[in-house]
Amino acid sequence: MNAEQWLADYRRELAGAADGAARAGALLRQVGGHATSPRGEVEAWVGAGGALARLRLSAHARALEPDVLADLVVATAEAARASAAGRIAEIMTGFVGEGAALDAVREHQPAAVRRRDEQDDEDYYANPGVRA
């Protein structure tokens, strides 16, 4: 391969990488997360950075003790943040593939939220869970 051919191939490769980065950036700007508490008292929405963007409390939230409601809000917001983080990981996997770059992205994401699918009423109020 001569120098001109090598340079042309290299420029095409760079253009492809720039195009992929632009597509990934556009997708990342649209990322958000959403989660709802098991009984729907709390809904939380977060942006790509994990910051709370919107919070909805249902009328049933008024029946909860303040500390229980506060814990439920925090848990629901964390689940929404984990949802957004999962989407970011999907986008970045498509862009950089598995490897050190993706590992670096994952290191800065929240830990997975523990899910509890079945809870009785007493356990629910003592240990509220959320679903994404």
Instruction: List b or e across 99-115, with b for residues whose CB sees 16 or more CB atoms inside 10 angstroms.
Output: eeeeeebeeeeeeebee
Using 50, 70 and 90 to split pLDDT, how confident is the model at 118?
very low
Q: pLDDT for 49-105, tens place per residue?
A: 889 999 999 999 999 999 999 999 999 999 999 999 888 888 888 777 788 777 777
Per DSSP, which regions of the chain are E strands?
Answer: 32-36, 42-47, 52-57
pLDDT exceeds cutoff 50 at 107: yes
**Residue 128's closest CA among 82, 64, 63?**
64
Record the pTM.
0.67
Which of the pair, 122 or 26, is modelled with greater confidence?
Answer: 26
Residue 114 confidence (pLDDT): 36
Q: pLDDT for 6-62, tens place per residue?
A: 988 889 988 888 888 888 888 888 889 999 999 999 999 999 888 999 999 999 999
Instruction: List b or e across 42-67, with b for residues whose CB sees 16 or more CB atoms inside 10 angstroms.
Output: bbbbbbbebeebeeebeeebeebeee
Say how far apart CA 69 and CA 119 lie, in whole Å: 17
Residue 67 confidence (pLDDT): 95
